[in-house]
């Protein structure tokens, strides 16, 4: 067979296209398979997480969950107005701070501590609800029960000597608009019921 014969050229062309089609098909099928496996894994993980998530609905259940945990992480309590400060106050008001000393891990970085939970190196974390991204190995057990809960309240006011009072007024109206309530709740923040 000659190198420039029509049959040889057709053979190489068909072989080349067959290889290209097989490679593209392999890439597409592998991507689809990976996505299906990840979705199935996420569904199974969610079922397991729901079964494993601690019951914290009542003060007694909250205390029992903390006492049963092998390890608990929260932010640095020396930083003012942060979740670590509030976590330590909650543990103290529950009468558990001393009892849990050996289980507590203080980690200054929120992302780092959440990674510890996601990897299973720590069982529970105490953080503001709005700071917890669900997924990626994290599951919200629930808020601290009402008698032990500490809330952070934010207030807005107009400065008497503000340079843009109309914009400030509009911003405060926007923050307190009843139509914004769903957005606050979606961000895991609790707007005041009436104002």
CB 62 within 8 A of CB 145: yes
pLDDT band at 160 (very low <50, low <70, confident <90, very high): confident
pLDDT digits (tens, 9 = 90+) for 87-109: 999 999 999 999 999 999 998 87
In this structure, CATH architecture of domain 54-131: 3-Layer(aba) Sandwich (3.40)
The answer to whether the predicted template modeling score (pTM) of the entire model surpasses 0.75 is no
User: Is it the case that residue 194 has pLDDT exceeding 70?
Assistant: no
Per-domain boundaries in the chain = 1-52, 54-131, 153-195
Residue 63 reports pLDDT greater than 90: yes
């Amino acid at each position: 067979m000659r190198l420039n014969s029509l049959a040889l050229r057709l053979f190489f062309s068909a072989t080349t296209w067959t290889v290209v089609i097989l490679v593209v098909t392999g890439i597409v099928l592998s991507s689809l398979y990976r996505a299906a496996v990840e979705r199935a894994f996420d569904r199974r993980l969610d079922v397991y997480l729901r079964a494993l998530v601690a019951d914290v609905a009542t003060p007694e259940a909250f205390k029992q969950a903390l006492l049963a945990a092998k390890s608990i992480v929260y932010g640095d309590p020396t930083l003012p107005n942060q979740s670590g400060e509030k976590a330590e106050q909650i543990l103290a008001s529950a009468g558990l701070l001393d009892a849990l000393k050996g289980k507590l891990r203080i980690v200054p970085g929120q992302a780092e501590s959440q990674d510890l939970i996601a990897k299973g190196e720590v069982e529970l974390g105490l953080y503001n609800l709005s700071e917890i991204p669900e997924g990626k190995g994290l599951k919200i057990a629930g808020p601290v029960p009402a008698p032990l809960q500490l809330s952070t309240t934010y207030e807005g006011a107009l400065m008497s000597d503000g340079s843009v009072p109309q914009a400030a007024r509009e911003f405060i109206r926007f923050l307190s608009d009843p139509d914004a309530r769903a957005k606050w709740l979606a961000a895991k923040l609790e707007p005041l019921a009436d104002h």
